[in-house]
Chains A and B, each alone.
Chain A
Amino acid sequence: DIQMTQSPSSLSGSVGDRLTITCRASHDISNYLNWYQQKPGKAPKLLIYDAYNLETGVSSRFTGSGSGSGTDYTLTIDSLQPEDVATYYCQQYENLPSFGPGTTVDLK
């Protein structure tokens, strides 16, 4: 099984800040990584797929990247907005899909 970790577990920012969330896989997942946003009581929303690709209709303030190691990935939120308050999950699909534990983002 591939284990996913995320850091930090929670993050606060002011409107306009740039925030970065890191996701690490226990094995090389070769960019087989998605990022989802989930607001309380709502369904998950796909933001980024295949590590780098922005889902249609998602704000360009969200960027996915990888370190090249195959295990370390980053979600960057540029110019944080109030509507970005949510929990963010990475998900690998190199093997049976699995999610990271999530990172909660709120406003200072």
Chain B
Amino acid sequence: QVQLEESGGGVVQPGKSLRLSCTTSGFTFGDYAMHWVRQAPGKGLEWVAVISYEGRNKYFADSVKGRFTLSRDNFNDTLYLQMNNLRLEDTAVYYCGRGTHESTGYDTYQRGDYWGQGTLVIVSS
């Protein structure tokens, strides 16, 4: 069955960096776009970023553009979110999700059908 598991969360000071990982199994990782969404404590969902199946296209929410980067290792079925210059408002549970099959460009925006259980990032001084 399709499984996704986020890791790498923790407590970090403002301005510092953190890298989240999303390990996957149960599907051909390299064939799918992948998303990150986040949820601040007690708040709604916020879409963060998406990467195309081959890693060529990456799109980010305005709130993280220029600070967060995305990469993927299609040999080890793992997605990464590098978060730099973290701010207090980045405090949230971060979820990775499977996007659509072999989607590139703006097609990557489409649905996420499987999601991990999330990893908590706390930005605090």
Q: How far is the CA of A55 from the CA of B50 in the complex (A)?
A: 20
Max count, chain B CB within 10 A of own CB: residue among A93, A100, A102 = A93
- Min Cβ gap A67→B in Å is 21
**CB of B27 closer than 8 Å to a CB of A:** no
* CB <8 Å contact, B118 and A43: yes
Instruction: Describe A's contact surface by its main secondary structure.
Output: loop
**CB of A36 closer than 8 Å to a CB of B:** yes
Q: How far is the CA of A34 from the CA of B113 in the complex (A)?
A: 10
Seen from chain B, the residues whose Cβ lies within 8 Å of a Cβ on chain A are 35, 37, 44-47, 50, 59, 61-62, 95, 97, 109-113, 115-118
Seen from chain A, the residues whose Cβ lies within 8 Å of a Cβ on chain B are 1, 32, 34, 36, 38, 42-46, 49-50, 55, 87, 89, 91, 93-102
